[in-house]
Chains A and B, each alone.
Chain A
Amino acid sequence: MSVDKIFVVLMGFLGIIFTYWFFFMKKEKEVEVEDEVDITVSGGYSPETISIAKGKRTKINFIRTDLTDCLEEVVLADFKIRKTLPLNQKITIELTPTKSGEFKFSCGMNMYHGKVIVR
């Protein structure tokens, strides 16, 4: 095998490992929410993981600044919520969770993800 091919194999191998590490091994940063939180929707959700208190009403404000079609809806299926997020508008979702646990939310096509942790 020529040098360039060995180099390509090596780079390919490293590329696959990097892709795996980059997308699947990221650490979640959890933001504790008291009463209200603003989540910026741009290439995903910032913050991505929030923790809220069980039985307490919490306001989650989504503000979409990203043109991507995918992100124009947010789905919190466990709370039966599907909301359209018009560009640059604050859309408030109020949650009063009755049980604790981890509840995922995503965009309408399930490409971008976030998490609500209820404690």
Chain B
Amino acid sequence: MNQISKTFPIKGMHCASCVRLIEKVVGKVEGVSSCSVNLLTEKATVAFDPQKVDEAKISAAVSSVGYEVLKEESSEDLERKQKERELRDLKRKVIVSLSLGILIVFGSFPKLMGFAPAVLQNSFVQLFLAIPVQFWAGWVFYQATIPALKHRTANMDTLVVIGTTVAFAYSAFVTFFPFVVQNLGITPAPYFDVSTIIIGLILLGRFFEAKAKAGTSEAIKKLVGLQARTARVVRGNQEIDIPIDQVLVGDIIRVRPGEKIAVDGVIVEGESSVDESMVTGESIPVDKGLKDIVIGATINKTGTFLYKATKVGADTLLAQIIKLVEEAQGSKAPIQRLADLISSYFVPAVLMLAIATFVVWYVFGPNPYFLFAMLNMVAVLIIACPCAMGLATPTAIMVGVGIGAEQGILIKDAESLETAHKINTVIFDKTGTLTKGKPEVTDVIPTSVILSKRSESKDLILRLAASIEKGSEHSLAEAIVKKAQKQNLKLDSVIGFKAIAGAGVEGEVDGKKIFLGNRKLMERENIEISSFSGQIEKLENEGKTVIMLSIANKLAGLVAVADTVKESAKEGVKALQEKGIEVVMITGDNQRSANAIAKYIGIKRVLAQILPDQKEAEVRKIQKEKKIVAMVGDGINDAPALAAADVGIAMGTGTDVAIEAGDITLINKDLRSVVAAIELSKKTMRTIKLNLFWAFGYNIILIPVAMGILYPVFRILLSPIFASAAMALSSISVVGNSLLLKRVKL
């Protein structure tokens, strides 16, 4: 009997008797072995046999005695609800503070707005309207400032608090003691419009910023949302739906048309076509049959199949992708260093500048110098926006990494994303990257008439080659045996099989000595091949590997084996070349075969006969040519070369993402994604640079303007109200610009 345990949140319990009642009624349900209810946490923990009872029956039992099983909320749901609550609260504060602020503005400029009722011109009425804005809507700024000052740190809220409190306190003083101010030669006018509108506009900016910021982390939410919730597992003779976290490795899972595949696994029965676009970015559904790998969270289209779970929980491809994207979004790009350095000194520096502004205007300013000094100081405090600097890089990185993940381009960290835009040379490993990495027999050519019919001779050559190769583990041997099996050829028994390192194999079939291998082997055995050298060269020029078969010391046939080039190779290489990026192919193949494949794909620079352990050195050689190099490989055999390159790009295989091997991993296996990744990096960097330009430019230009630098010549001063509007806009513009990245077409 398979037992599972699940916790249900219960609504409506008041006392210990409620607990006992629920325990009793649920415990009686057939298939439930135990039920324990906790009044404090309002939860029931039920152990049950899912083959006998489902969750609906347990819920029904709870409902039958007047209580309710609540739908369990995930931490994401709770977080979302909290955010929604905060936004609603913020919206209310924005509406109240701007409405009251506008009323005060009406009253503050009677000459401009003659239609404003006289009551609004009364300072005490204005004070009454300003108090809720300052101490209810604006309380968040105080709440942030007080604990920050305890830590001897300051942030934007500190600046807002000081700025608005100064304006509010001065206005309140003027309201109660107008004669004191008048005696100093200053017209006793309050500035409640300044304090209220600043708070209203900054809160408005924060409201839009919070909404926009939620958009930057959408990618992770989407990925998490892809996860299936249940799986239909075959247990004994029955199929039962169980929560995905209870699926074990080795479980056999049934998938019907239109259903989501629960976890990663291998098909054991049936076939279908699967839409993998949501995980790999591959837009065309992929046909799947026996022994094919299926990826969790992808959607089955047409057929029904059974598959065996091979990876569950944190090991699934989707879980690995989520982890990688989260990590990349948590990393920092080198370009951010300067912004980080400045923002860590920024707020105290602005405070010092504000003090200096007050002093300079007080000492050198025109009359009423106190008002000039105060208002300009407030403008400096309000205009400064450290947030824009803090948001410039991370928001763009988050969006960039997110859209990469949606397209099957996984970026390991922000640094890789930054370096990728400088790439001017891309080195492709041949086998398994440009090609499928699965050699296939392309030609079987009898060289002497063994049997009367040519087709029969071809079959004989293939049969003998396969018979002798079946004991070998070489990838070319595998291709020959596979081809023979496909043609249903019955293989002969071989005696005296021997592998000759770097040359081929030998053995005896029906008492005849057979050699199968390369030119070197034939020469060693003094087998005449010169009359077929034209044919051999022709095959090699097509990028094929030629294997020669001799029977009784006479060349009997040629078997050509070639690795097929991936469909996306030509287009992927061409797209890179069109962007002015040099493309290089690296391979262990001989020069002639390598050149043939490179020519077919359109690659001009070829590094042939490079052993796997020499690839890293070749990458370094090209780097010495002052090139910024990306190395594209499968991440398994060429890990050192990927690590040596400025950006290592690993092509994913199946559900094993070679995450540690590459700076960028292409899970969609599409070579066009290499150029897409570089483009994504370029566009993200452009967004970051524009963001930083705005954030720095904004502060560098407007802080001096707020200080009054334009006043001596142009008589221009920045009103604190305009300062708050500009400040609110600065963060929104930076986040909004990052969100524009989402429109990028890769």
Give A residues with C-beta under 8 Å from B: 1, 5, 8-9, 12-13, 15-16, 19-20, 22-24, 26, 42-46, 48, 66-70, 75-77, 79-84, 86-87, 106, 108-113
Given contacts A67-B144, A68-B144, A80 and B331 within 8 Å (CB-CB): yes
Tell me whether A26 and B152 are in contact (CB under 8 A): yes
Tell me whether A68 and B153 are in contact (CB under 8 A): no
Given contacts A69-B206, A77-B330, A109 and B387 within 8 Å (CB-CB): yes
Given contacts A19-B352, A67-B140, A43 and B390 within 8 Å (CB-CB): no
Shortest distance from the beta carbon of B1 to any chain A beta carbon, whole Å: 36
A8–B145 Cα gap in the complex (Å)? 25
B264 interface residue per 8 A CB criterion: no
Q: Which 5 A-B pairs have the closest CB atoms?
A: A43-B147, A109-B390, A44-B151, A82-B330, A12-B359
Name the A residues within 8 Å of B206 (CB-CB): 69
Tell me whether B330 and A76 are in contact (CB under 8 A): yes
- Mark the stretch among B9-17, B343-351, B451-459 that contacts chain A: B343-351
Tell me whether B79 and A86 are in contact (CB under 8 A): yes
Shortest distance from the beta carbon of B419 to any chain A beta carbon, whole Å: 16
A15–B347 Cα gap in the complex (Å)? 15
B195 interface residue per 8 A CB criterion: no
B78 interface residue per 8 A CB criterion: yes
Given contacts A86-B82, A113-B344, A23 and B153 within 8 Å (CB-CB): yes
Tell me whether B152 and A23 are in contact (CB under 8 A): yes
Which residue of chain B has its CB nearest to the CB of A1? B363
Which residue of chain B has its CB nearest to the CB of A84? B79
Assuming A44-B153, A70-B155, what are 10 further A-B pairs, CB within 8 angstroms? A23-B153, A23-B348, A42-B147, A45-B151, A68-B155, A75-B332, A80-B330, A82-B330, A111-B153, A112-B148
Q: B429-471: contact bitstring with A at CB < 8 Å (1 yes, 0 no)?
A: 0000000000000000000000000000000000000000000
A69–B702 Cα gap in the complex (Å)? 24
Q: B120-158: contact bitstring with A at CB < 8 Å (1 yes, 0 no)?
A: 000000000000000000001001111111111111110
Contacting A15 at CB < 8 Å: which of B210, B343, B355, B387? B355
Tell me whether B152 and A80 are in contact (CB under 8 A): no
Name the B residues within 8 Å of A79 (CB-CB): 330
In the complex, 22 of the A-B residue pairs with CB atoms within 8 angstroms, ordered by the A residue number, are A1-B363, A9-B359, A12-B358, A19-B352, A23-B153, A24-B348, A43-B144, A43-B146, A43-B149, A43-B153, A48-B151, A69-B209, A69-B210, A70-B157, A82-B329, A86-B79, A86-B82, A106-B340, A109-B390, A110-B343, A110-B390, A112-B148
B21 interface residue per 8 A CB criterion: no
B413 interface residue per 8 A CB criterion: yes
B391 interface residue per 8 A CB criterion: yes
Name the B residues within 8 Å of A44 (CB-CB): 147-148, 150-151, 153
A87–B394 Cα gap in the complex (Å)? 22
Given contacts A110-B343, A111-B155, A112-B153, A16 and B355 within 8 Å (CB-CB): yes
